[in-house]
Structure 1
């Protein structure tokens, strides 16, 4: 498939953000230059091509993030904010998975759901 303007702009947005984004958020960032079906179609294309991964939280919305490496997120179920954190036990977990289960770990994503400090104040 062609490298269209929409694809370039979607990838630029994804490169600028180190946390997951929904199609709706990307649509808003593109100033509505494209219809939502174009956004969804291109996000799915990037996912099939391995450039993006997707994750679905309890809100049933699909969020997309850059492929490669490993990612750790906390997601506020009230305000829908993401925060990325770098604390990682991947090496010890990977060793366990490799030695005990016989898998070769290629990547991982770890996420938690919770309520952020700001939203806790309003409860």
Structure 2
């Protein structure tokens, strides 16, 4: 794949790195459009997909919520607050061979795993 760095792609990548909050595509668009009001939502979405394909960012599928985009590309776990919906990194070692513990694979060839813990974040706990 030929890697062309477009201004729009750089703007989207910069927004993901600036936000550092496991932002949704809409949140990233809102961040980019503050400085560049003429950029389209479709351009932002296409560049998010491109950055994922290039390995510059990672898309995290969050059960019960919108996909999030992570500036950290290393394997790690997440927690989602059940009150506010924000997503946080979990400070624990990634278990690389967890798939080997599965007894009945139902014919699957496993290629990895994502775990999202759920709970109540400290901010929501403090403000009931």
TM (normalized to structure 2)? Answer: 0.68
Specify every segment of 5 or more residues in structure 1 that has no aligned partner in the other structure, as ranges: none
Q: Given the alignment, which residue of 56, 70, 86 partners 1:51?
A: 56
Equivalent runs, 1:35-74 vs 2, <5 Å: 35-66=40-71, 68-74=73-79
Q: CA deviation at 1:22?
A: 0.8
Q: CA RMSD in A?
A: 3.3
Partner SS, residue 70 of structure 1: coil
Q: CA deviation at 1:55?
A: 2.1
Q: Given the alignment, which residue of 1, 4, 7 partners 1:5?
A: 7
Distance 2:120 2:57 in 1: 26
Q: CA deviation at 1:70?
A: 1.8
Change (3 A) 1:32 1:76: farther
Specify every segment of 5 or more residues in structure 2 that has no aligned partner in the other structure, as ranges: 106-110
Q: CA deviation at 1:39?
A: 0.8
Aligned length: 120
TM (normalized to structure 1)? Answer: 0.70
